[in-house]
Amino acid sequence: MAPKMEVKCGVDTCHYWKSSYCHADNLEVNPQGDGKAHSSDGTCCTTFRRI
């Protein structure tokens, strides 16, 4: 069974954002740039959709 978790998010320009939380059914996060993340700056929410 897939895990369920609450996702707090500060990206208020995303279609799925509402009152500081993500309301997307599924979330995908991937490394940016060369594909090897070394800090949180190297990660990116792929599910983001603009309003």
Q: Which two tokens stand for residue 45?
A: 């929410």
Distance of closest approach, residue 46 Cβ to ligand SF4, in angstroms: 8
Q: What Cα–Cα distance (Å) separates residue 36 from each residue in 11, 43, 51?
A: 23, 9, 29
Q: Which of 1, 2, 17, 26 binds ligand SF4 (CB under 6 A)?
A: 17
What are the backbone dihedrals phi and psi of residue 29, each rounded to the nearest 5 degrees, phi first?
Answer: -125, 135
45 binds ligand SF4 (CB under 6 A): yes
Q: Tell me which residues touch ligand SF4 (CB under 6 A).
A: 7, 9, 11, 14, 16-17, 22, 24, 27, 45, 47-48
